[in-house]
Chain A
Amino acid sequence: MPAVTETYSLGVPVEVGKIDHELKKLWLESEGAMTRASLMNLAVYSEEPGSLKKNTQLMARITENHACRAIVIEADCNAEEDGVDAWISAHCHVSRAGSKQVCSEQISFCLNGGCTTQLPNIVLSNLDSDLPLYLWWQQEFHDPMDPQLWTWVDRLIYDSRPWQDFQAQMRLVESAQAEAKQRIVLCDLNWTRLDKARFALAQFFDHPASHHHFAKIKKVRIDYASGFRSTALLFVGWLAGQLNWRSEKTVGENKLQFVGSSGRKIDIEMRQRDGEPIHEVAVTAGDIEFLITHAKCGDLLEISRGKAGGKRVPQLMPAGKNDPVSLMSEELMRGGPHHVYLHAINCVRELL
């Protein structure tokens, strides 16, 4: 069956009006040797030339753990002539039981010309019914946002890291969310990037006897890699939001000061260095330092606490990965709204 592929090709070209028919044919031809699985519609939209191929490769890997109907769209909004090309394919993987192939189907589109008008129509007419729609928006958002599309989106996934103007982009997202009149969950992959570091820091304070350290935090140092300043700022926003700190002043680009509820000052130092996006976090509370740092092997975090120069018993935990497949997999495993994220960005919105 030519359309079933593991070689990341776009599959079989199809007429847009016959996609459903061709998909049915695809599964009929598999003669029960493969199982189609789907838990969601996962649409990915990009205007980057060549993104169709790149995103097909990503989908092949994402569908290993997240069965879905993938709708991959590449748009050339500046093309002189309007037009749509479409392909269908399937990503197949041997199931955990090892006895059968589990397949997710992919519909790929190349849109030329009036992208914003074509997009809702393309997405909405090709959804796997009764399943939620997750839209992964790989572009900066355009003004105006099309309300017709947003009314159907359950989770809007984006990465705020490369945004040039965070506030303007967030305003667009929030206005779309408001217009949609339904619950769109905002999923920022820049926030997902922080999951493991947040988890690692949080677990120091699980025991109530540790909670007194919150009131003693006087300094936070965050080492981040080039291009990940906004990620580091989100981390600061998270701490501020959860621990009720308010922004007091900024000293240069990377030194901030917050004030705790008791009027205590908290100095934040952000340092750019080589390494992982968030390479190291040190929180100093009184004479105790809580340290999270990337272990030498890269995909593990080494966490420890102790007094300066004192004995430490380090522990390793998964660090998470920064590639799009890992971030998406992490995000797709989660459910529910991200209240903490919204709270965090509100604390550092003006700094982003």
Chain B
Amino acid sequence: MNRAADQPEPNPLREGLATRAVPQPCSIVIFGATGDLAHRKLVPALYNVAADGDLPPAVAIVGFARRKKSDEEFRRDLEEATRKFSRQAVRDEIWKTFAQSIFYHQSEFGDESGYKRLAKRLDEIDKDHGTRGNRLFYFAAAPDQFEPILKHLKAAGLNETCKGSWVRVIVEKPFGTDLASARELNRIVHNSFTEEQTYRIDHFLGKETAQNILVLRFANAIFSPLWNTHYIDHVQITAAETLGVGTRAGYYEHAGALRDMVQNHLLQLLCLVAMEPPTDLSADSIRDEKVKVVRSLRRWPRNEIAANVVRGQYTKGAIHGDPVAGYRQEQNVNADSQTETFVALRLFIDNWRWADVPIYMRVGKRLPKSATEISIHFKKAPAVLFNKDLHDLNVLVIRIQPDEGIALRIHAKVPGTSFHIEPVKMDFHYGTSFGKASPEAYERLLLDAMSGDATLFARRDEVEQAWAFIDPIEEAWHAKKDVPELFFHPAGSWGPEAADDLLARDGRAWRRL
């Protein structure tokens, strides 16, 4: 993907060595550095990038959090977490040099003096480690802390760049809880940073197969002529997980599956599937096309929401034969919770390419298996010759996780003297064809942010348009009257029957995963 405007002149010694934008030396400041995200994902990802030799030598990691801790204690905590969560085994000698560039900065998020001290410390790190005044601020703290952090960063002058240096900010989801709060959050961010400096992370976009959707569509001429309303009957997107709400009940009770998964991850996947070819591979060209998809999503009037969006909640049941509690019995969940743990949607993209092609999405916890897949169901061949009795469609399946790959279902004649036709599957598995393991999504995304490549990050208008689509559904669910029903389904089933009816009414059925 392309270089950002603030990217430097190319290094002649890099020619032929790098096929991606080169990450720049910088200090990465993690707000909320003692939290789960930093320990489970961010620091293990940075360690892996370092162990693979992709981290520039002058990168410092500064953890910013409230708890009192020395640099050494912080390094020990991170080492323990990295040993536990890293995709590759931690090597002592690599960790030792990696850890030399990890620092801890104790401060309350609302304490102005803490940011002044931070500025001073970053200047010292620049001198000692050659980080050249480049700063990457990673917001891994709770969203309600974003405003004080941003305000104080600005007050301490940490949002300002010197000549030749850059400052970027990575914001973790949720990007608001509705359109109004997202706009407010964007306003707050933009008080301190420009849109070009803002990287909204959606880790689904860092997954290898998500990136491969664009390659599949735009590097293979065979799909391009078929990718439209003339040949596609419908599209299904499923994001299923066997896990329950776990320790996230506090957040999940307020969010629910629609906000937690659909507004961001699933709509991002839909954009990649449905977007027009971008004019080039620059971040904005791609995001321009993605936002058009969200903008084209048909908004349902209040009285049609129940017919097109099904919400459900799991009750007690079993996963892989083991009994599990219902959602309302989970810790920190209200006994009469109305939060949806399952959503199924019937969407339409009202543009030329996708006119009248239904997009069915479903997402849920405590479903029979964990799988995220997109399937493109092609229209039937004319009902003459072989197709009079055929009911199966050609299906192209893009498996996002696990077992990343692509499969195509076609029809073939069963060997024999009779003319019996059966569907067969051509299957491509990343893990089978490519021995090398894919990097974790956070590894890719952190490197992209250090390189100034915002392609895999959500832009302000994408986020806001997604909320504009989600808000009427949430409003209907939280209205005082005519509230669409919350359907219950046992854990370990594929959601409530109403979700099946959503497709059955159109003469279709969910794919068997």
Contact = CB atoms under 8 A, between A and B. Distances in A.
B339 interface: no
Contacts of A333: 436
Q: Which of B17, B50, B100 has the most CB of A within 10 A?
A: B17
Contacts of A341: 16
A198 interface: yes
Given A195-B17, A208-B164, A242-B13, A317 B433 contact: no
Interface in A191-206: 195-196, 198-206
A331 interface: no
Contacts of A200: 53
A65 interface: yes
B74 to A, nearest CB: 18
B117 interface: no
A44 to B, nearest CB: 18
A196 B54 CA distance: 11
B94 A300 contact: yes
Contacts of A199: 17, 53
B15 A300 contact: no
Contact of B53 (A66, A214, A318): A318
Contacts of B23: 206
Interface in A69-85: none
A316 B97 contact: yes
Contacts of A205: 11, 13
A96 B435 contact: yes
A241 to B, nearest CB: 9
Interface string A128-162: 00000000000000000000000000000000000
Contacts of B93: 295, 297, 300, 316
Contacts of B132: 207, 209
Contacts of B100: 313
B57 A315 contact: yes
Nearest to A303: B57
B128 interface: yes
Q: Which of A35, A196, A199, A315 has the most CB of B within 10 A?
A: A315
Nearest to A210: B11
A240 to B, nearest CB: 11
A102 interface: yes
Contacts of B15: 242, 339-340
A67 B433 contact: yes
Given A196-B53, A300-B93, A39 B22 contact: no
Contacts of B51: 318
B263 interface: no
Q: Which of B13, B25, B129, B132 has the most CB of A within 10 A?
A: B13
B435 A202 contact: no
A50 to B, nearest CB: 27
B402 to A, nearest CB: 7
A305 B53 CA distance: 17
Contacts of B52: 318
B13 A208 contact: no
A206 B432 contact: no
Interface in B416-466: 429, 431-437
A338 interface: yes
A206 B11 contact: yes
B11 A211 contact: yes
A243 B12 contact: yes
Given A204-B57, A207-B24, A303-B57, A198 B436 contact: no
Given A97-B403, A316-B93, A317-B53, A202 B11 contact: yes
A211 B9 contact: yes
B110 interface: no
Q: Place the interface of chain A in its size category.
A: 35 or more
A35 to B, nearest CB: 5
B164 to A, nearest CB: 6
Interface string A310-324: 010111111000000
A16 B374 CA distance: 45
Interface in B117-138: 128-130, 132
Contacts of A64: 435
A207 B25 contact: yes
Interface residues of B, number: 40
A243 B434 CA distance: 36
B56 interface: yes
Nearest to B437: A96
A67 B432 contact: yes
Given A37-B433, A102-B432, A297-B93, A206 B16 contact: no
Nearest to B15: A340
B129 A202 contact: no
A313 B432 contact: no
A173 to B, nearest CB: 19
A175 interface: no
A65 B11 CA distance: 31
B228 interface: no
B16 A313 contact: no
Nearest to A96: B431
Interface in A202-229: 202-211, 214
Contacts of B9: 208, 211
A204 to B, nearest CB: 7
Contact of B56 (A206, A211, A239, A297): A206
A202 B18 CA distance: 10
Given A64-B435, A295-B93, A313-B101, A198 B13 contact: yes
A242 B17 contact: no
B97 A314 contact: yes
Given A207-B8, A317-B53, A339 B16 contact: yes
B16 A340 contact: yes
Contacts of B13: 198, 201-202, 205, 239, 242-243
A311 B100 CA distance: 14
Nearest to A209: B164
Nearest to A319: B53
A185 to B, nearest CB: 12
B8 A208 contact: yes
B68 interface: no
A340 B14 CA distance: 10
A125 interface: no
A242 B101 contact: no
A137 B216 CA distance: 34
B20 to A, nearest CB: 12
B97 A315 contact: yes
Contacts of A303: 57
Contacts of B56: 203, 206
A316 B96 CA distance: 9
A95 interface: yes
Given A210-B11, A311-B128, 7 more contacts: A198-B17, A202-B17, A205-B13, A206-B23, A206-B56, A207-B132, A305-B130
8 cross-chain pairs, A with B, having the tightest CB-CB distances, nearest first: A65-B435, A202-B13, A340-B16, A317-B53, A208-B8, A315-B57, A96-B431, A242-B12
Interface of A: 35, 37, 39, 64-67, 93, 95-97, 100, 102, 195-196, 198-211, 214, 239, 242-243, 295, 297, 300, 303-305, 311, 313-318, 333, 338-341
